[in-house]
């Protein structure tokens, strides 16, 4: 199942009057965000409602309660770009969360530049990396069994890479 970022926009006038009034909106571009917000406020049981807040969200990174429409539109644009690039949205969110980046269209390029592959573990990824790059061939055949991939993986994670666990795999990213 593909996740889609979505937010619950709540009317603050209603909330302050003890009434829960709001609307879930998917940030996939299928609806105009500003129009949905204005419609939700217009349908408020409190007259002339103007203020709103995000009272819940899913798959949107770190939004906070008052992100502003610009921030929500940025998440929406990022989701569209990630989809156009064929990226796993949840993995992109986990990458941004781990790396301390906001979800924005530029995050897609940073993800693509940093991503180095996946494996069952970092040690398994290291073994494959050594084979793919030809480095394993630089170690004499009779010494290869003594190479400590676990220690190499530990050193890589300390200095050069970080990992994100997602979908039963370890995804490896170069530190930039």
- pLDDT digit string, tens, across residues 14-67: 999 999 999 999 999 899 999 999 999 999 999 999 999 999 999 888 888 898
Is residue 36 assigned to a domain? yes
Residue 135 and residue 53 in one domain = no
**Domain C-terminal end among 62, 84, 106:** 84
Pairing state between β 52-58 and 6-11: antiparallel
Residue 42 and residue 19 in one domain = yes
Residue 80 and residue 95 in one domain = no
Q: CA 18, CA 102: separation in Å to the nearest integer? A: 33
Residue 138's domain comprises 86-176
**Cβ-contact 96, 164 below 8 angstroms:** no
**Domain C-terminal end among 84, 106, 136:** 84
Q: Quote the DSSP letter at residue 102.
A: -
Query: Model's pTM, two decimal places?
Result: 0.81
> What are the strands, taking DSSP E only, across 87-168?
115-119, 161-166
> What are the strands, taking DSSP E only, across 29-103?
52-58
């Amino acid at each position: 199942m593909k996740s889609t970022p979505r937010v619950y926009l709540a009317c603050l006038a209603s909330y302050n009057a003890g009434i829960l009034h709001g609307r879930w909106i998917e940030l996939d571009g299928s609806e105009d965000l500003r129009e949905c917000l204005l419609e939700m406020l217009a349908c408020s049981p409190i007259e002339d409602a103007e203020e709103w807040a995000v009272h819940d969200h899913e798959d949107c990174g770190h939004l906070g309660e008052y992100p502003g429409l610009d921030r929500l539109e940025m998440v929406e644009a990022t989701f569209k770009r990630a989809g156009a690039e064929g990226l796993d949205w949840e993995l992109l969110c986990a990458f941004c969360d781990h790396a301390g980046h906001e979800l924005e269209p530029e995050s897609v390029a940073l993800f693509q530049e940093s991503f180095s592959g996946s494996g069952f573990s970092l040690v398994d990824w290291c073994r494959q990396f050594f084979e793919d790059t030809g480095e394993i061939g630089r170690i004499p055949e009779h010494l290869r069994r003594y190479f400590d991939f676990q220690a190499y993986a530990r050193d890589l994670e300390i200095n050069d890479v970080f990992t994100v666990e997602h979908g039963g795999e370890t995804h490896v990213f170069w530190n930039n």
